[in-house]
Structure 1
């Protein structure tokens, strides 16, 4: 049996995407358990300080990566597609060293600035400032390892190899974090709860994962050595210029994107207090789970989409975008609707004080329905070479979020931050959606997307009013997905049979 190029691309994306989504589900699940342990063990104020510290850690690591999580996928894919594989080594040497240098600088800055950051985000909880600063300093030590891990795993994805990302980042790191944080939680039975200890337990897994990621990146690079000639120096200089012209705007956009996801916790802590920040972080944890699913599919689609767009193959690019969006909606819309229905019940597991986060869940879940319905639109815009437009969109969305947070958090607390993030997410998806359609003619609303959305709403929408109907919704959803498997392109997950 033979397959068209779009079908082969969809099958390749399905194989990598399925593994990534499975790994993302595991990482998201362990993340929820880690959040539960921290919330139950440290109490609202120290838990809020922990979530603020990890938000600062992730922001610093995102800044250190300089947008290479896009550039080191786009350029290797483009070089291979255009017959310039001999420049792959120069591409890696262009992208990796600046990340290492900047991550060390940011680690030193966070170490030195830890007391000031702690005082700024602790608000009226002055008694936790010392522990908060110590936790920030523990995390600062691991910023270079976090940045290096991410960039090395990006290198493997640039070679269409998804396994290291799944096994090392999703499975190993998340599993080690769960074990280490659980051990820290058990230790509190005999010793006083300590934020620095929990910070160390959460960050320490980056050390073994960074070493293994380096090994995986080296293997990927050696496997792609098809030509030994380095090419003329002028060609390498041009590549370096082109690499940073493309990646530079994405570096700022990546930090702004991370700020959209993380800075709201810091703003709630600074403007509303550490206890509301803990409520907001716990209530919004499901958003991270859905972002993991989006990221899992995006990372598998990204190199294939880059190759298709770089060679002008609009048919393959359109099918990849629409098919992947249908899969994303099929996975995430039921989760969104389930968390809306179940929020009053599962938030109690974190403690009675966290039930006040139910409106936060409802607002953010509504925004996530819009965001996932647009698919990985920001990645499509970047792979089309529009990184400057991507940057502008994210900065507009970030301005919307910060402006609304400053206005609403002092009055509404965590709900104000949720409103700010929800509006920012809508802006950050609808703007690039219009730009992608105008610039390339691509859009995510294919037959699979429409079928997945209708099936999800019909099966899980009623749960908002009758949560007990979940016993009917799940089998109805599975049966509907089977009946609509053609529209949803689920056959891409089935290995092809070869016949003579």
Structure 2
């Protein structure tokens, strides 16, 4: 492995560790919240609350307009070009439209709460719950934008503390207080959403500290040109983000509307574990945004390929054991929410979801890579294709098969999305089949230690908590031994070095696209392009050269080929 690739992997491990710890806490909080709601409310009322939360998340994603990805792509590039003042202006260019859209959507949702609740099968009580949750929408959107700006510079600590720990923990605490007082879903939704106001205050303070530490620089283009430059890339990602979160959340709303809030609660409980693995995966992908940006700027194809391969393997190592154990012990997992949640449909849903997520994680951060390479239009198209598949399959399967039909529809949509993603990243970015050698090795280790014992456990039928715990503990021990033996091909040495952070030599640093960054190009690698008001050509195989017209922004020409999205 080259020195450059090793340094980038250490940087990913450092930031990923912070994000992983925060995501692990948030995942536990999410599971705890679901348990509190399912055990504290009747199943019908729990399903109503979960449906409103799903609607809230989808509407917040729409209002966010995809600016998180736009900031991740642009801020380091602007700084690399000496446009420090444009960095601050870009944050404003991103935040103001998102905030205005969020306010407008909030008013619209409150006015149309009745028809929205009726269409989702939530009734009059659902309309009240929607109205109570809606005012927090601008706070949620703006907090996400501000934290995305800090992540664009590779600073994961703010997101981990503000969103993953404080926000998630506060929502669980509020839910515990509300439910202990005997209140219903309306009060629960009000308390859950009000936490976002505190998140906004903390996120604003974190962003202010981050920007004050960045180089000042100068503004090189008019604000209107900067806005055109930013939004020409970002708006397709806003549509893609909607499609992505809709695939993740729309099935809850569809199950509630097509069946009942009771079935919505069953489906939410059965699929809650998916978010646990997704958060761990997301912790790595957030760090990769800034790393991929630097590697594309430096045109370091070797380090790019190695970083993609090894970080995908790390995600597999972290996430596959969770899905393998839960998939094999579905009845034990479902019993956490109450015995009434252990149904045949719920067990099938868990098994389908777990199997599909193995594929999703192993496909790697293909969407992150293409987005940082300027292919936001591809992401949009592919997301819409996946959403269309999911909704159409749900409408066909849910009335006939129940909640298991929603799981099958979701699995089909995710399989389409991942398959297109892997195919597209090979064609557009030039990664080869060898890039999946390390993820395949990691997956084999997880299957040997958790998959095979889990399958034997499942064949026994209706496993009890004792055998499940034994499989998890014994599998973890064997896993640790196996990973020590495979540490070199899986890049675990770099991860261990980053975690140890030896005094004075392995201190964490904020990624920056200047000469002071520790991950410098190898001799002979072209220096970072600087100056001017256009983006440097990312030199992606098959990408058209950068175009400049009318003095406006320049960006790589979008391909007409199918696109991709990641989990």
For the aligned pair, the TM-score class normalised by the smaller chain equals over 0.9
Query: Relative to structure 2, which stretch is displaced further, 128-137 or 99-108?
Result: 128-137
Matching of residues 20-59 of structure 1 within 5 Å? 20-59=19-58
What root-mean-square deviation, in Å, do the aligned CA atoms of Structure 1 and Structure 2 show?
1.7
Aligned pair partner of 1:374 in 346, 353, 363: 363
Cα displacement string for residues 254-283 of structure 1 (whole angstroms, at most 9, x for unaligned residues) = 111110111111111111111111111110
Aligned runs of 1:272-287 on 2, under 5 Å?
A: 272-287=259-274
The residue that corresponds to 2:133 in the other structure is 139
In 2, the alpha carbon distance for the partners of 1:316 and 1:81 equals: 19
Tell me which of 453, 456, 467 is aligned to 1:465. Answer: 456
Unaligned stretches of 5+ residues in structure 2: 458-467, 506-567
Q: CA deviation at 1:446?
A: 4.1
Instruction: Tell me the secondary structure at the aligned position of residue 486 of structure 1.
Output: coil
Is 1:307 paired with 2:294?
yes
Asked if the contact 1:177–1:205 (Cα under 8 Å) also holds between the matched residues in 2, the reply is yes
TM-score, normalised with respect to structure 1: 0.94
Could you give the per-residue CA deviations for residues 445-467 of structure 1, whole angstroms, max 9, x where no partner exists?
44431221110000101212224
Matched, 1:240 2:231: no
TM superposition shift of 1:237? 3.5
Task: Give the whole-Å Cα distance in 1 for the aligned partners of 2:474 and 2:272.
Answer: 26
Distance 2:478 2:250 in 1: 39
Q: Is the 8 A contact 1:290 1:332 kept in 2?
A: yes
Higher alpha-carbon deviation: 445-454 or 331-340: 445-454
Q: 1:159: Cα distance to partner?
A: 1.7
Larger displacement relative to structure 2 (147-156 or 286-295) = 286-295
1:210 and 1:6 map into 2 onto residues whose CA distance is: 36
Answer yes or no: is 1:448 the counterpart of 2:435: no
- What is aligned with 1:407? 396
Aligned to 1:112: 111
Aligned partner of residue 489 in structure 2, secondary structure: coil
**Alignment correspondent of 1:213:** 203
Query: 2:144 aligned to 137, 145, 150, which one?
Result: 150
Q: How many Å apart are 1:20 and its aligned residue?
A: 0.8
Could you tell which deviates more after superposition, 177-186 or 435-444?
Answer: 435-444
- Report Cα offsets for 1:390-419 as digits up to 9, x if no partner: 111111110100010000011111111000
Aligned to 2:99: 100
Superposition pairs of residues 282-431 of structure 1, within 5 angstroms: 282-356=269-343, 357-431=346-420
Supply the distance in 2 between the matched residues of 1:69 and 1:212 (Cα, whole angstroms): 17
Aligned partners of 1:464, 1:452: CA distance in 2, in Å? 18
- What SS does the aligned partner of 1:54 have? helix
Q: CA deviation at 1:443?
A: 5.3
> Alpha-carbon deviation of 1:383?
1.2
Instruction: Give yes or no for the alignment of 1:170 onto 2:164.
Output: yes
Aligned match of 2:257 in 270, 274, 293? 270
1:88 alignment partner in structure 2 = 87
Cα contact 1:156–1:162 (8 A) shared by 2 = yes
Deviation at 1:320, TM superposition (A): 1.8
Counterpart-to-counterpart distance in 2, 1:133 and 1:489: 51
Measured against aligned partners, the alpha-carbon deviations of 1:133-162 in whole angstroms (never above 9, x if no partner) come to 111111101000110110000010112111
CA distance in 2 between partners of 1:307 and 1:138 (Å): 43
Per residue, is there more helix in 1 or in 2? 1
Please give the alpha-carbon distance, in whole angstroms, between the structure 1 residues aligned to 2:88 and 2:169: 33
Q: Secondary structure at the match of 1:465?
A: helix
The equivalent of 1:199 in structure 2 is 189
Shift of 1:346: 2.0
**Residues 443 and 284 of structure 1, relative CA distance in 2, 3 Å threshold:** farther
Task: Measure the CA separation in 1 of the matches of 2:357 and 2:87.
Answer: 37
Conserved? CA contact 2:314–2:490, under 8 Å: yes
Distance 1:14 1:323 in 2: 11
**Contact 2:370/2:429 (8 A) holds in 1:** no
Q: Is 248-257 or 447-456 further displaced after alignment? A: 447-456
Aligned-partner Cα distance in 2 for 1:471–1:9:
32
**Distance (whole Å) between structure 1 residues aligned to residue 438 and residue 20 of structure 2:** 18
CA shift in 2, pair 1:369/1:232, >3 Å: closer
CA deviations 1:49-78 (Å, max 9, x no partner) are 101100110011101110101001110122
State the match for 1:125 in structure 2.
none
Match of 1:179 in 2: 173
Q: Secondary structure at the match of 1:302?
A: helix
What SS class does the counterpart of residue 237 from structure 2 fall into?
A: helix
Q: Distance in 1 between matches of 2:39 and 2:32?
A: 11
